[in-house]
């Protein structure tokens, strides 16, 4: 079954602004990961948060996880034109199950 539903589906912001996108999932997870995909290209891993973690930072990225609500958010601070891409959350269901279930993604456009 599919997990990971992002909202909004699309986001347009001005360079320098923050971008926030959310992801909800349905079943328990071992970890949740965020990936970026530039148009027509492959997926690039951004950040991973374990089920026992609540917040994680990596550079301009901040991820939160609320397992009670089965939701996560990705914040990109001080956005740049190069951040224009689609962002996907992906859930890893358990320790020994390695397949990822992806959401539909949020398309972010950063205007110069």
Note the residues at the interface with another protein (CB under 8 A): 2, 30-31, 33, 35, 40-45, 48, 50, 88, 90, 92, 97-105
| Cα distance between residue 8 and residue 28, in whole Å | 22
Supply the minimum distance, in Å, between the C-beta of residue 27 and another protein: 14
Select 72 or 88, whichever has its Cβ closest to another protein. 88
Select 21 or 35, whichever has its Cβ closest to another protein. 35
Supply the minimum distance, in Å, between the C-beta of residue 96 and another protein: 8
Which spans in 1-112 are helix H? none
Query: What is the rounded end-to-end Cα distance, in angstroms, of the chain?
Result: 39
Supply the minimum distance, in Å, between the C-beta of residue 88 and another protein: 7
Please answer whether residues 112 and 102 qualify as being in contact, where contact means their C-beta atoms are separated by less than 8 angstroms.
no
Q: Which residues of 19-35 are buried (b: 16+ CB within 10 A; e: fewer)?
A: bebbbbbeeebebbbbb
Select 19 or 36, whichever has its Cβ closest to another protein. 36
Token representation of residue 56: 């994680």
Supply the minimum distance, in Å, between the C-beta of residue 91 and another protein: 10
């Amino acid at each position: 079954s599919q997990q990971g539903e992002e909202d909004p589906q699309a986001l347009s912001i001005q360079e320098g602004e923050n971008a926030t996108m959310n992801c909800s999932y349905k079943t328990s997870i071992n970890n949740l990961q965020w990936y970026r995909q530039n148009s027509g290209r492959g997926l690039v891993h951004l950040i991973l948060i374990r089920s026992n973690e609540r917040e994680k930072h990596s550079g301009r990225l901040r991820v939160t996880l609320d397992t009670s609500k089965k939701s996560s958010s990705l914040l990109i601070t001080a956005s740049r034109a190069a951040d224009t891409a689609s962002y996907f959350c992906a859930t890893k269901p358990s320790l020994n199950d390695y397949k990822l279930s992806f959401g539909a993604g949020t398309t972010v456009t950063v205007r110069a």
